C-alpha cells in the first residue's frame, strides 16, 4: 500500500477515545471513500464502506475498531484539578505521570496525571499501586472557574492519551499509541487499496466500528445493517515475546507474521474458515501465527452472533504493551496481514462461503 507508514502515523496519533471516534472516522473516510461504491454510518458512528463485486452474494464484512482506551471528565475540583472516569480497560499503574489531551468544544486542553511526589511518601505508600480514584489531571488551572470558563472543560469531555509516533531506532518496529486497533484499521485500508482493480466474487464491506472497548457495541449495530455471510475481524494481537509474560499466556511474536486467535473469552473461530486462512497463508508464503488466550474480547464475537450465526475469524497484528500510552508493532506484520486478507477475500465466492457455513 502506498503511504502505509504515513497512514499508520496519522491513525496512531489521532485522538479517538471510546464514544468519541470522530477524528479517526475522518481519516478512514478520507482513505476509503475513493475505494468504495457506497459509504454510510450506522446510528452510533461506525463507518460502513461497500465495494461491489461480480456478485451481490456473499456479503463479506471486514471490521476493525476506531476507538482507543481513554478517559472522560467526571468533574473539576474547586482547586481546578480534573477527576476522571476511565473508558476501557486501563491498569491503574499505567495512568500515572502521563500526558493527556482533553477534547473540549473550545479545542484541546493538555494535562498530566499527577501524583504525590515520592519525597514525601511513606514507605508503605511507595510500595502500593495508586488507585485511579486517587489520581487527577493537572491542566494548569488556578481554580474550578478558570478550568471551566477559560479552558472550557466540562463534565463528559473525552480525554485521549498523548503520544507521538516514531519508527523505533530506524528499525522495523513502530512506536505509538492506540495500535489497538489502529493497526487493524490500517490493514483494512490496505486490503481495500490492494483489491481496487480486482473483480471480487463477493460484496466486500469495510467497517470501522466504534465503542469496541466498552462492549463491542459498534460491531453489533453495524452487523445488523450489513447482514454479513462471513466476517473477518482485524485486531491488535497479544505479543508474548518480552520479559514478564509467558508463552502460556500469549504466543504471538513481533515480526513473525499476522496471527489467528484460536480462542479468546468472547469467541471461538469457525474451523473451516481457520483452515482456509492457514491454506491461503501457506500458498502465498505468508508467515502465520496462532494464539490461544484466556481473556480478550473483540468485535468478531458480535459479528458471529449476527443473522442467526456467522462464520468469523479474528486476524491480528502482534502488539506489545497494549492499553498504554506507548505500544509496539512490526511494520512487516502489517504488510503480511494486508497480503493475507487480500488473498483470502478473493477466495470467498458463494460456493466457498456456503461450505464454510455448513455443518453436517
Catalytic residues: 212
Rg for the chain (alpha carbons), in Å?
Answer: 21
d(CA 355, CA 360) in angstroms, rounded, equals 10
Q: Cis peptide leading into 314, omega within 30 of 0?
A: no
d(CA 175, CA 169): 10
Q: What is the pairing mode between strands 166-167 and 327-330?
A: unpaired
Q: Residue 329: which H helix or E strand, with range? A: strand 327-330
Joined together, the cell numbers standing for residue 41 give: 454510518
Q: Are 181 and 207 a contacting pair, CB within 8 Å?
A: no
How far apart, in whole angstroms, are the C-alpha atoms of residue 71 and residue 194? Answer: 36
**Torsion on CA atoms 153, 157, 158, 163, rounded to nearest 10:** -10
Burial class (CB in 10 A: 0-12, 13-18, 19+), 171: exposed
In DSSP notation, 58-102 reads: SEEEEEEE--B-EEEEEEE-TTSPEEEEEES---GGGSTT-EEEE
**Which among 207, 211, 206 is positioned nearest to 298, based on CA atoms?**
211
Cell of 233: 475481524
| DSSP three-state, residue 321 | coil
Cα–Cα distance, 24 to 329 (Å, whole number): 19
DSSP assignment, residue 227?
-
Amino acid at each position: 500500500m502506498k503511504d502505509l507508514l504515513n497512514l499508520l502515523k496519522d491513525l496512531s496519533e489521532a485522538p479517538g477515545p471510546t464514544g468519541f471516534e470522530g477524528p479517526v472516522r475522518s481519516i478512514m473516510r478520507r482513505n476509503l471513500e475513493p475505494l468504495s461504491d457506497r459509504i454510510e454510518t450506522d446510528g452510533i458512528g461506525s463507518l460502513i464502506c461497500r465495494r461491489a463485486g461480480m456478485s451481490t452474494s456473499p456479503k463479506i464484512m471486514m471490521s476493525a475498531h476506531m476507538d482507543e482506551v481513554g478517559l472522560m471528565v467526571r468533574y473539576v475540583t474547586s482547586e481546578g484539578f480534573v477527576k476522571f472516569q476511565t473508558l476501557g480497560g486501563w491498569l491503574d499503574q499505567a495512568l500515572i505521570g502521563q500526558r493527556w489531551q482533553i477534547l473540549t468544544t473550545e479545542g484541546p486542553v493538555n494535562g498530566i496525571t499527577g501524583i504525590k511526589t515520592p519525597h514525601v511518601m511513606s514507605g508503605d505508600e511507595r510500595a502500593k499501586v495508586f488507585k485511579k480514584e486517587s489520581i487527577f489531571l493537572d491542566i494548569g488551572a488556578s481554580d474550578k472557574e478558570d478550568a471551566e470558563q477559560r479552558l472550557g472543560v466540562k463534565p463528559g469531555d473525552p480525554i485521549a492519551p498523548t503520544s507521538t509516533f516514531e519508527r523505533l531506532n530506524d528499525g522495523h518496529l513502530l512506536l505509538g499509541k492506540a495500535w489497538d486497533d489502529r493497526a487493524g484499521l490500517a490493514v483494512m485500508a490496505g486490503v481495500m487499496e490492494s483489491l481496487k482493480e480486482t473483480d471480487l466474487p463477493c460484496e466486500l464491506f469495510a467497517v470501522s466500528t466504534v465503542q469496541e472497548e466498552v462492549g463491542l457495541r459498534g460491531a453489533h449495530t453495524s452487523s445488523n445493517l450489513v447482514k454479513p455471510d462471513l466476517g473477518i475481524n482485524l485486531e491488535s494481537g497479544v505479543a508474548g515475546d518480552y520479559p514478564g509474560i509467558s508463552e502460556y499466556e500469549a504466543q504471538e511474536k513481533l515480526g513473525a507474521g499476522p496471527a489467528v486467535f484460536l480462542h479468546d473469552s468472547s469467541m471461538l473461530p469457525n474451523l473451516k474458515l481457520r483452515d482456509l486462512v492457514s491454506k491461503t497463508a501457506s500458498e502465498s508464503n505468508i508467515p502465520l501465527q496462532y494464539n490461544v488466550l484466556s481473556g480478550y474480547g473483540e468485535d468478531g464475537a458480535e459479528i458471529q452472533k449476527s443473522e442467526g450465526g456467522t462464520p468469523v475469524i479474528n486476524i491480528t497484528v502482534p502488539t506489545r504493551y497494549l492499553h498504554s500510552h506507548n505500544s509496539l508493532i512490526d511494520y512487516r506484520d502489517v504488510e503480511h496481514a494486508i497480503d493475507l486478507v487480500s488473498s483470502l477475500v478473493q477466495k470467498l465466492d458463494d460456493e466457498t462461503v456456503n461450505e464454510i457455513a455448513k455443518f453436517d
